[in-house]
Structure 1
Amino acid sequence: MEMLALLVPGGTGQLGRELAARAPGEYTVHAPGSAELDITNPGAVNEAVKTLVDGAGSPVVVNAAAYTAVDNAESDYTRAFALNADAPRVLAAVCSANGVPLVHVSTDYVFAGDATEPYREDEPPAPRSVYGTTKAAGEAAVLGSGARAWIVRTAWVYGAHGGNFVKTMARLAETHDTLSVVDDQRGSPTWTGDLADGLLELAARVAGDDPPTAKVLHATGGGETTWFGFAQAVFTELGLDPARVRPCGSDEFPRPAPRPSYSVLSDQAWRGSGLTPLRPWREALTAAFAQDASAYRP
């Protein structure tokens, strides 16, 4: 195994922490949070990347940093754009200047969410929210930078670290006899454990002699469900009666940012590149609870 030296901006978030935890022991991993590395600051980014290059191992940057507060972004455009568009542009420019490959994590929100079949990697973005718009701008900046860069879109991410849908369902289950969860939004739940493994596999590929030719890839849990179906599965893993979860429509829970009605992503390019497909979402949820059930309980 070739030893890699990884820089993981966003290293204190739910995905960044999983990446650091799952990296092989032979790897050198620096996973700074925003307090340690301000990725909107070109000087700070340049110093971090040069330190990475000067160390041992083949350098790769995996950017897990983002402004992910979807609703807050609607009234906080400046900050969302700085983290989701400007910061990736800075990272890509510095990576290009230093010959370091970049893997940048993006989102299903770059699409309108009105499809009826999985979104292909080559379909043009058409975001409907500020969050999606800023993430699409970040993708464009990375792809247009001249850096050796790959975009990995994912969706419906949950894990042991940070806040997420699974933890919210577990918390609400303690105080509510029944929960109403929308059943008209469809996507693919993605466990950070599987996503981190996939990104690490990709990082090894881009550092070696056989990088994927496709520059945009999709990596989500296999299959699809609705938030209602996901919530019922969470209740089952918690040992609770899934009938306590009731289906409802999105119109019963209006939010500042529009949600995609359909955000299933095709992983055709991921599979075609010879990368290991992420396991089916339901199987992954069971694995997540088996690994660290206490992390998902209040």
Structure 2
Amino acid sequence: MRLVVTGREGQVARSLGERAHAHPDVEIVFLGRPELDLEKPETIAPALAITRPDLVVSAAAYTAVDQAEDEPELAFAVNGAGAGHVAEAAARLGAPVVHLSTDYVFDGSGEGAYTEDDEPAPRSVYGASKLAGEHAVAKANPRHLILRTAWVYSPFGRNFVKTMLKLAADRDEISVVADQWGNPTSALDVADAILHLAATLHGNKGFASFGVYHLAGTGETSWSGFARHILDTSQAFGGPHARIRDVATVEYPTKARRPANSRLAMAKFAAAFGWMAPDWPESTKEVVRRLLIGETRQTLTA
């Protein structure tokens, strides 16, 4: 089975490269710039056609949340139109598409965990561009699995876990927002889920439960609660530690508005694929351990 992944350096792409070693029946091909450039639609179909995919994982995206407020055209070109072109090219090749989306499609005003039936209402350009991508993917390829995830971290790239460890090495106290809630999600777990669903699709040619799914870490916390767990875990491993001071969102203004409630309900994915992410504290512990001992395996080539 050949999985073709758009993007090479993102957290999920690099996690797929690592986790695929446990699946000898899976071949992964990574496509990125300049061969495949979401800003240049003319590159997408030819690049995918050469690879002959059984499944396309649409992971490449514009992810600069605050910068998107100043670059809406670029954000929509990549996350909206670009995602649609990937899905269309996959459909022409007879391949399903797995597209990664975000909790930021919701405004955060809901009381409980959002389900796939809840109406999106993004508050930021980034969230709106990702929602546009969802619509474009669904229109272009009926065999789509749109996976909304949240608060992604990993041993790779830039993310909240790495930021907290770096700050704790230089400070005694770190101020972290305490009134935004969500599901911390390891990109390694997302990769495991994608490989699991790929096997499901490969073994069930009549699979018909395509659509939108939520895929995030099990359990919920605030950003400050997440930070405390990261640094308490770090301290247990002999790494840096700092006090966490709870602050309100209004005390930490950002250009893009974040949802106060990013919690996602994952029951639909579990029912369809028989897979649930581990509890977020356990997944976080493993990533912190790896970062502290320098165990970040290089599994991708440029």
The TM-score with structure 2 as length reference comes to 0.91
Name the structure 2 match of 1:256.
255
2:220 corresponds to 1:224: yes
Residue 121 of structure 1: SS of its match in structure 2? Answer: coil
Name the structure 2 match of 1:213.
209
Name the structure 2 match of 1:48.
47
Amino acid in the other structure paired with 2:215: A
**TM-aligned CA deviation for residue 96 of structure 1:** 1.4
**TM-aligned CA deviation for residue 177 of structure 1:** 1.1
2:229 corresponds to 1:233: yes
Residue 175 of structure 2: SS of its match in structure 1? Answer: strand
Residue 238 of structure 1: SS of its match in structure 2? Answer: helix
Which of 144, 148, 153 matches 2:148? Answer: 153
Residues of 2 paired with 1:289 and 1:170: CA distance?
8
**TM-aligned CA deviation for residue 152 of structure 1:** 0.3
Name the structure 1 match of 2:299.
none
2:7 corresponds to 1:10: yes
Name the structure 1 match of 2:285.
286
Instruction: Give the gaps of 5 or more residues in structure 1.
Output: none
Name the structure 2 match of 1:269.
268
Instruction: Give the gaps of 5 or more residues in structure 2.
Output: 297-302
2:172 corresponds to 1:173: no
Which of 168, 189, 193 matches 1:198? Answer: 193
Residues of 1 paired with 2:224 and 2:34: CA distance?
36
CA shift digits 1:164-220 (9 cap, x unpaired): 001111111121110110100000100111111001111222333153615111110
Which of 20, 25, 39 matches 2:17? Answer: 20
Residues of 1 paired with 2:51 and 2:24: CA distance?
17
Structure 1 49/251 Cα, relative in aligned 2: closer, same or farther at 3 Å? same
Matches of residues 24-103 of structure 1 in structure 2 within 5 Å? 24-53=23-52, 59-103=54-98
Residues of 2 paired with 1:16 and 1:243: CA distance?
31
**Do the aligned residues in 1 keep the contact of 2:197 with 2:273 (CA within 8 Å)?**
no
**Do the aligned residues in 1 keep the contact of 2:230 with 2:288 (CA within 8 Å)?**
no
Residue 105 of structure 1: SS of its match in structure 2? Answer: strand
Which has the larger displacement, 171-180 or 40-49?
Answer: 40-49
Which has the larger displacement, 90-99 or 226-235?
Answer: 90-99
**TM-aligned CA deviation for residue 270 of structure 1:** 0.3
The alignment of Structure 1 onto Structure 2 pairs a total of residues equal to 290
Name the structure 2 match of 1:184.
179
Give the superposed CA RMSD: 1.9
Which has the larger displacement, 145-154 or 185-194?
Answer: 145-154
**Do the aligned residues in 1 keep the contact of 2:90 with 2:141 (CA within 8 Å)?**
no
Which of 101, 123, 128 matches 1:128? Answer: 123
**Do the aligned residues in 1 keep the contact of 2:8 with 2:32 (CA within 8 Å)?**
yes
Which has the larger displacement, 211-220 or 11-20?
Answer: 211-220
Structure 1 296/262 Cα, relative in aligned 2: closer, same or farther at 3 Å? farther
**Do the aligned residues in 1 keep the contact of 2:168 with 2:241 (CA within 8 Å)?**
no
Residues of 1 paired with 2:33 and 2:74: CA distance?
13
**Do the aligned residues in 2 keep the contact of 1:12 with 1:31 (CA within 8 Å)?**
no
**Do the aligned residues in 2 keep the contact of 1:17 with 1:31 (CA within 8 Å)?**
no
Amino acid in the other structure paired with 2:17: A
Amino acid in the other structure paired with 1:12: E
**Do the aligned residues in 1 keep the contact of 2:144 with 2:210 (CA within 8 Å)?**
no
Amino acid in the other structure paired with 2:186: W
Residues of 2 paired with 1:147 and 1:107: CA distance?
20
CA shift digits 1:42-74 (9 cap, x unpaired): 432212222222xxxx61100111111100000
**TM-aligned CA deviation for residue 11 of structure 1:** 2.0
Residue 31 of structure 1: SS of its match in structure 2? Answer: strand
**TM-aligned CA deviation for residue 230 of structure 1:** 0.4
Residue 193 of structure 2: SS of its match in structure 1? Answer: helix
Residues of 1 paired with 2:182 and 2:281: CA distance?
12
Which has the larger displacement, 152-161 or 210-219?
Answer: 210-219
Residue 273 of structure 1: SS of its match in structure 2? Answer: helix
